[in-house]
Amino acid sequence: MAHRKFVRSVLMAVPLVAVGSMSVACASMHSSNTANAAAIPEEQAVAAVSTQMPSAPASPSASASESSSASPVVSSLPGLGSHTLAAVPASAQQVVLAVGGGKTSSDATVQLFTRVPGGWQSAAPAWPAHNALHGWTDEHYASDLKSPIGVYNLTDAGGLLPDPGTKLHYTQSSHFTINGTGFRDEPLAGSYDYVIAINYNRAPGTSPMDPTMPMGAGRGGGIWLHVDHGGPTHACVSVPKDDMKQLLLTLDPALHPVIVMGDGASLAR
């Protein structure tokens, strides 16, 4: 029964791929005073309401093989059990692996892997990261302050800053302005300088700000990889700014990148 529930949730959660009864959302708010309402993570207490057209990539992205050439090849993605590995598409050549320190922990690590002959190769060292305040969940709902456990495609990016040269569809907009403080009273300014949308309950091929939520607002939306602000998120995964930029320069839609995210024990299933 658990396996059937897992597969059914995969089909409902994301048009491309998702794992488990894992519904996700950095929890979202909607702007109702513009025709182009934006899906905005809860961290954003203040957002400028302005819309710009997506910009074209500035330059080719860095080669994944070049960035990972010195790393050893491993036969399988580390720490993943058969249940999780089965949800990683055969077409995925790049995997962002986000592993939480525990089911209720907001601390995590993120590492980028590239599929090569014989297995997987680390494209970068593991980075310190944060996830949601209350840890991880197999079934996410808006405002539950938990990050979803699952496997999700990465197709779209954006940010307050200009496109650094990513091959992902990139939207630059002042919509990504954020102010205020986080759970540890840390400033949130700059958290959305760079973001990568996690394809949970969203329409792939659109701006991270697109408000479309196929499963409804109650299941949350607007879950992103974004710049770390030094504390827990509402549901997103955050990494240091330089590492976000490296992800943007390395991820290539032609390689079908996905994120595998969750606490270590859950991913080991």
Residue that is written with structure tokens 């074209």 in the block = 56
Residue-wise burial string across 99-116, b where 16 or more C-beta atoms lie within 10 A, e elsewhere: bbeebebbebbbbbbbbb
Gap between the Cα atoms of 26 and 237, Å rounded: 9
Distances, alpha carbon 20 to alpha carbons 17, 84, 137, 215, in Å: 10, 9, 10, 15
- Confidence (pLDDT) at 70: 57
Task: Say if CB 227 and CB 193 are below 8 A apart.
Answer: yes
Chain mean position to CA 125: 18
pLDDT less than 50: residues of the chain: 1-37, 42-69
What's the predicted TM-score (pTM) here? 0.79
DSSP E strand stretches across 38-102:
40-41, 73-74, 94-100
Give residue-wise pLDDT tens across range 130-183: 999 999 999 999 999 999 999 999 999 999 999 999 999 999 999 999 999 999
Gap between the Cα atoms of 264 and 269, Å rounded: 9
Gap between the Cα atoms of 160 and 171, Å rounded: 9
- Supply φ then ψ for residue 230, to 5 degrees: 90, 15
